[in-house]
Structure 1
């Protein structure tokens, strides 16, 4: 069976057109005002199969910042560097209904820890635990990690956007975390790399390639080399499924049913384990900070090709396979 259907590009182009025609009335992140996008009403979708097959619809080559999608990647590298046992003594793994920049998510979290790595407090903890002598080295390692996953050494970050990201709320979260002993070190060494990671700019195709590596159990699509350990992939995908779409994670799991991480740039990275990585971009955001068009596009694609983890067609196919073996 092919990882990606041959008619997926045509279908994706059609769903993009449908979403463009709806002219969604949603919020747009203020940080996007400093980003030199060719089109701030950008709509795009791309899919990359674990066999390397690529399908695209609309503006899959235009750049946008990762924003909170970067949290999944910072988590992955932190897990590779310090391991799950150590990292999860500093950040919990529980879904909550708090906003992504909530301080209450720390105060009311399990044992005084940030609720999970997909909110700002948890992501700041994860990035602070990436190895490096200083902030520059820590971020350089993360940027190279992203480049390797996307198979694109030209990926960089938006320096103007870093200045916009340096908000007092995130600083207050950092100093609260430091006061609790959850991070150790100076702001420029532990917090600034987090600001930079959210400003890394990619295309839909870059992001779909990154997602495809996760779908391929952490292995490079071209060489088969392990870029991420299987255990790290398992943990990251689990947390994407349960917490990756902010307060809308539960509904997304019901409607779409695949691990995903969204960002307020309007980007979503989604992973279909064993089959493909998918990415979408659409700047209008719902009340949870998720792309309205992106969620709709993923819902249509997931249902058309039965991609959901609990899609009954997949359950029936699996059951039939094992029944025939017996």
Structure 2
């Protein structure tokens, strides 16, 4: 594992080659340093889901039955990460290689070979760039195998959750979750999961995929005078909101939630049109950008430049 520390005059990000995981991203304000992502637990030496964020490649979430059919062939998967199903692909459990690094950017890559646990051969890259208050992620995956296969991308960040946190993320519908954490039915947005306008994250278990996202979202932390905007390329047309509870996760302290941009529906392998998964022929690539921008009041940026930071 190799650690890369990226800096601007107002922000810092720590990136690990293990899982291409972000271990922390924080902003300097007049009232101190505020984490824009949940800091990694155990100094980044814990489990992959104890980091601050990680990429999802060559797909995100679970594959029902650990099997899927494509182009007349059946494929079998092996469960991972102690889950009943093969979860989040391979990238988050693999050691990536540093291809390039500067003071404020880094590119890490993963060349993965198919084996008995999963059929994908691919080359994945993640470019992380800090620019003032802005973080840009460029995620890509190239099919390096001999067969055309369905691919997807996603990003799994953990955001701080406070009593006044509000989420805005327009969508048209949401998938209900079954007992095995797979989607069961697509339904209109219920009132407590309607983020078309600014709304709190319900204080209960949430693990749902949302459809027809326009790629724009916003997280407000009013008690910190801080807002985070999220803007993605059109390929990220879905998202997942995840918030555990103490009944299922005794270690959960109600202090974080996940908002995960996705190119495909959870378990799209078993849905019409593959749920947005993209068939890639050998040599073809899927790529997209995720841009996050922090907007804060009374920051060192304003003092240093004499300018207000531009709003959304």
User: Does TM-score exceed 0.5, indicating one fold?
Assistant: no
Structure whose residues are more often helix by fraction: 1
Q: Which has the higher contact order (CA 8 A, sep 6+)?
A: 1
Q: Give the TM-score of the pair, scaled to structure 1.
A: 0.23
